[in-house]
Amino acid sequence: MLVASRNAKKLNELRRVLTESGIEGLTVVGLDEVQAFDETPETGATFEANAVVKAVDGAAATGLACVADDSGIEVDALNGMPGVLSARWSGVHGNDSANTQLLLAQLGDVPDERRGAKFVSACAFAIPGGEPIVVRGEWPGTIAHEPRGDGGFGYDPIFVPESETRSAAELSPSEKDAASHRGRALRLLVAALSDYAAGR
């Protein structure tokens, strides 16, 4: 199964949850392990649209079943942004440090009671020529006032999950998988993946 991502840390999470999902005979490969193909840019207006395009393109180009995730953080005081622009919020794609620093600066005057946020992951699954499916997982919490922790990636150091005092970057990988938006979305996909792997 192809996982359509070049983000090593995201790929790790997807591989971890998929491998532990109990699907037999599953081999997970990343985009860097298959022949290059023209990837559609992520310009959709929703996480779901971007995830589906990535999964369908990956399946079509490789002939493999393909899982893709599009995810980000929705901040209440920013009307739900950065949203689909999370990875390029600072204007440069994939600069986690610049993105988190900008978000903290934008919220500099925003008081605690207005710092609600949620992580969102849309996970799509496609087989060549088949109809894709897409599911969504959410992880509610708040935006901290400074980064904490070395785990995870993206906005994890400034996100404090609901009923936690630690940031998402201070959770162990298994704690994060159990609670996170991506873990939730992938578990919703597992039933569909099991059906596929079993040839049903």
Interacting residues with a second copy (CB under 8 A): 41-43, 45, 77-81, 83, 85, 88-92, 101-102, 104-106, 108-111, 114
SS3 letters for the chain? CEECCCCHHHHHHHHHHHHCCCCCCCCCEEHHHCCCCCCCCCCCCCHHHHHHHHHHHHHHHHCCCEEEEEEEEEEHHHCCCEHHHHHHCCCCCCCHHHHHHHHHHHCCCCCHHHCEEEEEEEEEEECCCCCCEEEEEEEEEEECCCCCCCCCCCCHHHEEECCCCCCHHHCCHHHHHHHCHHHHHHHHHHHHHHHHHCCC
- Which is nearer to a second copy, 41 or 199 (by Cβ)? 41
Is residue 70 flagged as an active site residue?
Answer: yes
| 162 neighbors 82 (Cβ within 8 angstroms) | no
8 is an annotated ligand-binding site residue: yes
Structure tokens of 101? 């620093």
* Residue 10 annotated as binding site: yes
Q: Which of 38, 70, 109, 195 is catalytic?
A: 70
Is position 15 annotated in a ligand binding site? no
Q: Of the two residues 62 and 142, which places its CB atom closer to a second copy in the complex?
A: 142
Question: Which of residues 13 and 42 has its CB atom nearest to a second copy in the complex?
Answer: 42
- The nearest distance, CB 117 to a second copy, in angstroms, is 13
CB of 108 to a second copy, least distance (A): 7
In the complex, least distance from residue 48 CB atom to a second copy, rounded to whole angstroms: 16
Return the number of the residue (104 or 133) whose C-beta is nearest a second copy: 104
Nearest approach in angstroms of CB 97 to a second copy is 13
Binding-site annotation: residue ranges for substrate? 5-10, 71, 153-156, 176, 181-182
Q: Could you give the residue numbers annotated as active site?
A: 70
Summarize the annotated binding site for Mg(2+) as residue ranges.
Answer: 70
